[in-house]
Structure 1
């Protein structure tokens, strides 16, 4: 019974990680599509492209973190596995925060834009 549950949990983690990779591979194509075919009159086409591309990367990172957490929980909870997960989560969280600041111009907890 335990092996069956572990098999399905590992499979779910793999599916979520693959979904994250697909989001980061397919997302740029949608961003390019909007860039070329949804022209904006106010000249914000490039800004929209950057924003769409960043959102795809952020969403993909969120899927990858979720997959890593599930994969770590489903394996033997050794200190090495937990430390590797912690390092991965810290790096991906830093990347997510950096991308969000770059895209939105503010920290997630701020209401006003940085520099305005």
Structure 2
């Protein structure tokens, strides 16, 4: 097995882990939401959104790692680097928006005390 094939498989495993984390995380977050909804809590929906946002952020970060490995080591070309750059920009903007949604403030602002 050559290095390109090995790292292509590593990238696939990392990307698969990101997808699995998001799928399992979604199931856990929804089960927790249903459990809390049965207890009639008042902050259930907000907690669902925050926890789901955290799961998505974690999954996106792992997917970015897989994309970087694939682009840098396996598919080295100008086009693949440009595609990677676009993917990273889109995922970074999405991550930034999710972080603002989760925390309720801009990253450069002091967060309110809980």
Q: Which has the higher contact order (CA 8 A, sep 6+)?
A: 2
Q: 1:102: which partner in 2?
A: 101
Where does structure 1 differ by over 4 angstroms across 4 or more consecutive aligned residues? 39-42
Q: 2:74: which partner in 1?
A: 75
Q: 1:62: which partner in 2?
A: 61
User: Over residues 62-93 of structure 1, what are the superposed CA-to-partner deviations in whole Å (9 max), with x where a residue is unaligned?
Assistant: 11111000000122421111101000000000
The runs of 5 or more residues in structure 2 that have no matched partner are none
Matched, 1:4 2:2: yes
The runs of 5 or more residues in structure 1 that have no matched partner are none
Distance 1:41 1:89, change over 3 A: same
Maintained 8 Å contact 2:18/2:59: yes
Matched, 1:28 2:26: yes
Alignment RMSD (CA, Å)? 1.8
User: Over residues 41-63 of structure 1, what are the superposed CA-to-partner deviations in whole Å (9 max), with x where a residue is unaligned?
Assistant: 76111111111111111111111
Shift of 1:110: 3.0
Pick one of 13, 16, 41 that aligns with 1:15.
Answer: 13
Output the CA distance in 2 between the equivalents of 1:21 and 1:77: 24
Report the secondary structure of 2:105's partner residue.
coil
Q: TM-score, normalised by structure 2?
A: 0.86
